[in-house]
């Protein structure tokens, strides 16, 4: 209940979709204390939530702490809690996650060699009969995020000038011009 009041008070619904999603995600992770009165919650309970997310990214843990701070700021302001325990919660050192590495020249060549390969799954899916190698090549050559590419309108792709106006998905600052490499120009043209 306090979260809903704090959320409304902070006017989070007026923020970007990404911001709203991060608050929802952070709140969902706090489920173990949802039914505990705010005045009864102790630091250890808040920290336990972060500790249980030790395999999650620093960003995920930060989202949880942001929600805790939002709730405690509202609770203290409205005399629902005597102390802001969220101020003492610490991010747990992120354990090594997946090893991210760039595609090798051989892997990229394999995509080019199989650019017309069509997806055929064991079950019928929306991707059935679709080419996917071209999408992967566009992502590799532009550096765009998957969601950014999928949300790109055809009016944002300027083939003659060889750039894509990327509206971004994470923040308002994600708005940027993405150059189109000459090798993927025909791939983008075909996708349009």
Q: In this predicted model, what pLDDT tens digit does every residue of 169-181 receive, in sequence order?
A: 666 666 789 999 9
The whole-number pLDDT of residue 26 equals 92
- Which is more confident, 163 or 167? 163
Distance CA 64, CA 157 (A): 37
The arithmetic mean of pLDDT across residues 31-43, rounded, is: 93
pLDDT > 70: what percent of the chain? 93
Dihedral angle over CA of 96, 102, 106, 112, nearest 10:
130
Which stretches within 10-57 are classed as H helix?
17-29, 43-51
Rounded to whole angstroms, what are the CA distances from 92 to 26, 30, 65, 67?
15, 16, 11, 16
Average pLDDT, the chain: 88
The whole-number pLDDT of residue 101 equals 73
The whole-number pLDDT of residue 95 equals 56
The whole-number pLDDT of residue 173 equals 64
The whole-number pLDDT of residue 35 equals 93
Distance CA 133, CA 117 (A): 7
pLDDT at 147 over 70: yes
The arithmetic mean of pLDDT across residues 58-78, rounded, is: 93
């Amino acid at each position: 209940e306090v979260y809903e009041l704090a959320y409304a008070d902070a006017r989070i619904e007026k923020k970007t979709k990404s911001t709203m999603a991060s608050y929802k995600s952070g709140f969902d992770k706090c489920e173990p204390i949802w039914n505990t009165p705010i005045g009864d919650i102790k630091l250890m309970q808040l920290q336990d939530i972060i500790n249980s997310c030790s395999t999650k990214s620093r960003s995920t843990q930060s989202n949880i702490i942001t929600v805790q701070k939002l709730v405690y700021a509202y609770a203290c302001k409205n005399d629902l809690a005597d102390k802001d325990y969220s101020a003492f919660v610490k991010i747990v050192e992120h354990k090594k996650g997946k090893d991210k590495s760039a595609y090798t020249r051989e892997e990229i060549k394999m995509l080019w060699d199989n650019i017309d390969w069509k997806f055929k799954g064991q079950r019928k899916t929306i991707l059935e009969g679709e080419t996917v190698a071209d999408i992967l090549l566009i992502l590799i050559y532009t550096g765009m995020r998957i969601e950014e590419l999928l949300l790109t309108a055809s009016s944002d792709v300027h083939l003659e000038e060889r750039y894509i106006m990327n509206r971004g998905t994470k923040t308002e600052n994600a708005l940027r011009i993405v150059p189109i490499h000459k090798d993927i120009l025909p791939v983008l043209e075909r996708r349009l």
